[in-house]
Structures are given as C-alpha cells and as structure tokens.
C-alpha cells in the first residue's frame, strides 16, 4: 500500500517558473526522501530530510518537513525543461534500526514547457 | 547515473512462465532491495537482502523469491507469472545503516501476455 500521497498528481509550468509539490504521509517516520524518475526509468535520489529537520536545500531544490501535519513539500526554483519528470516522496517504515524499506507515494508528473 | 545495473532491460513472458531478473549493486553497498512499479504508480517494496538473507518483505506472495550472492549482486525470481506481474522492476542498493538513501538501477520492464 502507498504511504505517501503527492499533490498535485500532475503539474505543468513554464520554464523559469517555480514548481511546488506536496506529500502527505500517514505514520511516523525516521526520514523522508524525494526521488525523480524520467520516463519510466530508474529513480534518482534528490534529497533526504530527517524527522528532526524542518527545511533543507540542495541547489535549486528546497524541501520542508512538518511532522505535526505529516507533510512535506518540494520546491524547484527557476525550473528548466530538463526538470520534466515524475517526482516521488518516500518514507521509511520506521523501525528501530537498520535498513528500512522505502514506501513511495504515487508521484507528481511535472512538465516544464520551454 | 548510479553504479547499479540491471538485466535484461526488457522482457516478454507468457502467463504461467517463470522469470529471473538480475541486479548488480553499487560498489561498497551490501544491501539490495527490489521494488515493483506498475504503470502510473509509485514503486512497491518486494523484499530486501542483506548478508545473503532476506531482511524484510512487502506484501508479495511466495512466488516472488530472491537471492543475494557474496559479491552483493542479487536475483529476483517470479514463478507462475500472472498478467498483473507486468511492471517495471527496480532494484536499489544501499549500505546497511540507520539512515540511508538508495541507489536505483534503470529497471527491467516485464510484460506478461
């Protein structure tokens, strides 16, 4: 079953605009990660935010996490046509230690029009 | 591009047949996880292998099985294929620990007819 739910399901913007995607989840987490997938290929890790962090930046990416609301957002600033992809949030399954499987949402399909 | 490779890239099988998918993990990683991604959905966790043993399993039937080899590469085997098994199968490697990111391969597209 899916843990996270991304919103919106699809987003279309002009090049240069900012894109914001949201993710909600149901259970407690150790960390939340965002991944990008181009055209049904492998997933690329973008950024990881731990449960005790509220905001994190990486280049043009900004991620926020609100554990009280069980939600996260991914902001891509100054979007480019190459940012066109599906974006997924993924949470761990919250075990005490060791590797935990990632639980993915259904993703947001971002289209950036040149 | 990650250092994770998968083979084959595409595969077409008939219902009832068996299939083996292969994954080579990134150098330095000792854990492999397998995911199934149906069209338009997010990846769903199948199982994970660490130290050549299954270390967690998602909601998949026993006809989904796997192996991990001493060099940390892995296989996913699916018996008695069903039409709903048609999907992109992704493997991801990582290093066993408490907080981690996973490195995904390009996937194997399986079509069951």
pLDDT tens-digit profile of B91-105? Answer: 999 887 655 778 999
Q: How many C-beta atoms surround the C-beta of residue B31 within 10 A?
A: 24
Q: How confident is the model at residue B1 (pLDDT cuts 50, 70, 90)?
A: low
Distance from CA of A113 to the nearest CA of B (A): 21
| Contact present, A104 and A88 (Cβ < 8 Å) | yes
What is the C-alpha to C-alpha distance for residues B70 and B85, in angstroms, rounded to an integer? 28
Phi then psi for residue B69, to 5 deg, are -100, 165
B chain contacts of residue A44, beta-carbon cutoff 8 Å: 2, 104
Across chain B, what does the average pLDDT equal?
92
CA A81, distance to chain mean position in Å, is 18
Q: Which residue has the higher pLDDT, A99 or B79?
A: B79
The answer, for A52 touching chain B at a CB cutoff of 8 Å, is no
pLDDT averaged over 10-residue windows placed end to end, chain A, 114 residues: 76 97 90 90 91 96 96 97 96 62 91 95
Kindly report the nearest CA distance between residue B23 and chain A, in angstroms: 13
Residues of chain B contacting A35 with CB distance shorter than 8 Å: 104
* pLDDT tops 80 at residue B2: no
The pLDDT score that the predictor gives to residue A1 is: 47
Q: By the CB < 8 Å criterion, does A34 face chain B?
A: no
Whose CA is closest to A51, among A68, A75, A76?
A68
Q: Across the interface, do B88 and A106 touch by the CB < 8 Å criterion?
A: no
Rounded Cα distance, A110 and A85, in Å: 5
pLDDT of residue A92: 81
Q: B77 pLDDT exceeds 60? A: yes
| Four-point Cα dihedral A69, A71, A99, B41, nearest 10 | 130
Contact present, B28 and B89 (Cβ < 8 Å): no
Q: Quick one: pLDDT at residue A28?
A: 85
pLDDT at position A7 is 87
Distance to chain B for A77, nearest Cα, Å: 23
Using the Cβ of A25 and the Cβ atoms of chain B, whether some distance falls under 8 Å is answered with no
Tell me the per-residue pLDDT of B38-65, one tens digit each, with 9 for 90 and over.
999 999 999 999 889 998 899 999 999 9
Determine the residue of chain B that is closest to A104 in CA distance: B42
Minimal Cβ distance to A42: which of B41, B97, B105: B105
């Amino acid at each position: 079953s899916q843990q996270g739910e991304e919103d919106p399901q699809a987003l279309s913007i002009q090049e240069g605009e900012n894109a914001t995607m949201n993710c909600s989840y149901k259970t407690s987490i150790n960390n939340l990660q965002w991944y990008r997938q181009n055209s049904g290929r492998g997933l690329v890790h973008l950024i990881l935010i731990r449960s005790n962090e509220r905001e994190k930046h990486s280049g043009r990416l900004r991620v926020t996490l609100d554990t009280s609301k069980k939600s996260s957002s991914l902001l891509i600033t100054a979007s480019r046509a190459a940012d066109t992809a599906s974006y997924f949030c993924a949470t761990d399954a919250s075990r005490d230690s060791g590797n935990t499987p990632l639980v993915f949402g259904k993703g947001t399909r971002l289209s950036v029009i040149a | 591009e990650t250092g994770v490779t998968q083979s084959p890239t595409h595969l077409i099988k008939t219902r009832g047949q068996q299939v083996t998918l292969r994954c080579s993990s990134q150098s330095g990683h000792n854990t492999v996880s397998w995911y199934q991604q149906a069209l338009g959905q997010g990846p769903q966790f199948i199982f994970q292998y660490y130290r050549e043993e299954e270390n967690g399993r998602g909601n998949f039937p026993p006809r989904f099985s796997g192996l991990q080899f001493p060099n940390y590469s892995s296989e996913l085997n699916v018996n008695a294929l069903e039409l709903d098994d048609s999907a992109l199968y992704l493997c991801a490697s990582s290093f066993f620990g408490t907080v981690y990111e996973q490195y995904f391969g390009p996937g194997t597209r399986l079509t069951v007819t």
